[in-house]
Amino acid sequence: MSAVLPPESLTLPAIERPSPLAALRGWLPGVGRLLLAWPVPLAVLLLWHIAARNEWIAPQVLPSPEAVAATFVDALQSGELLENLRISLWRVFAGFGVGLVGGLLIGVAMGLSPTFKDYTYPLFKAFAQVPVLG
């Protein structure tokens, strides 16, 4: 025997849809964060432009943003920028590789030889006291 359900129990519950205003509120925080990210860089650019225009600092030290942009475009068009980028990246990766191999060899040697560690560990402690930018 099956029970007969009343017709009102067969209706589906209403699905609540967020109002357009609620959807906009969910979207605005992302836009707000994006808009808050622009004032400081734009203020720095404006200050740079004013400082260069009024020559507060010599143009050899602080060229104008327009001069920097023009030089960037010239270097990009001539291919000089890409060549210099290639050389710089090569130096970065070569330096990283040398440091990686050297650090790995010294670390293994320190791990395998307590005498080697006794001689080299004070040097590591001394370097750890020097700030990274130093």
In the chain, where are the structural domains located? 18-78, 79-134
Higher pLDDT, 5 or 38: 38
Q: Residue 46 CA to chain centroid, in angstroms?
A: 23
The confidence score (pLDDT) of residue 23 equals 60
Is 0.75 topped by the overall pTM?
A: no
Q: Grade residue 53 by pLDDT with cuts at 50, 70 and 90.
A: very high
52 exposure class (CB count in 10 Å sphere: 0-12, 13-18, 19+): buried
Using the predicted structure, report yes or no on whether residue 114 has a pLDDT greater than 90. Answer: yes
126 CB neighbour count, 10 Å cutoff: 9
Tell me the mean pLDDT in the region 56-66: 92
Q: Please give the DSSP secondary-structure letter assigned to residue 131.
A: -
Alpha-carbon span 81 to 89, nearest angstrom? 12
Cβ distance 64 to 52 under 8 Å? yes
Tell me the mean pLDDT in the region 86-103: 96
The confidence score (pLDDT) of residue 93 equals 97
